[in-house]
A = this chain, B = another copy of it.
Amino acid sequence: MAVHKREQFTEAEQQLATIAKALGHPARVAILKLLAKRQACVCGELVLELPLSQSTVSQHLKELKAAGLVQGEVDGPRVCYCIDPAGWARARQLLGGLLAELPNTNNCC
């Protein structure tokens, strides 16, 4: 596009969109679910579980980290990933807010 106009939306809208965008790929959803299920969350294990190359998984992890949903901790030669508690709390707040704001009723014309 010619120019981004994101700055014209509210902070909450942008944050929610950023989080939703991070969730907007099945690989990243799968990664989050794997991180939630296992205690161990080493990058290499994720690669084994996913139908993607190491570099692609690493890229998805980077995006989840950029969105604040995941954090990584160096553990020797490995990196241990896990859900970022603060970021996920914010995601929970924003997504929950949207679910509350858009009630499950038909208000169509």
Establish whether residues A29 and B52, one from each chain, have CB atoms under 8 Å apart when the complex forms: no
Establish whether residues A109 and B41, one from each chain, have CB atoms under 8 Å apart when the complex forms: yes
- A1-52 residues with Cβ-Cβ distance < 8 A to B are 5-6, 8-10, 13-14, 16-18, 20-30, 32-33, 35-36, 39-41, 51-52
Q: How far is the CB of A102 from chain B (nearest CB, A)?
A: 5
Establish whether residues B92 and A106, one from each chain, have CB atoms under 8 Å apart when the complex forms: no
Q: How far is the CB of A100 from chain B (nearest CB, A)?
A: 10
Q: How far is the CB of A19 from chain B (nearest CB, A)?
A: 8
Q: How far is the CB of A73 from chain B (nearest CB, A)?
A: 6
Report chain B residues within 8 Å CB of A35: 102, 107
Establish whether residues A17 and B26, one from each chain, have CB atoms under 8 Å apart when the complex forms: yes
The 10 closest A-B pairs by CB, nearest first: A21-B24, A82-B108, A20-B23, A9-B26, A80-B109, A8-B51, A13-B26, A20-B24, A85-B106, A17-B26
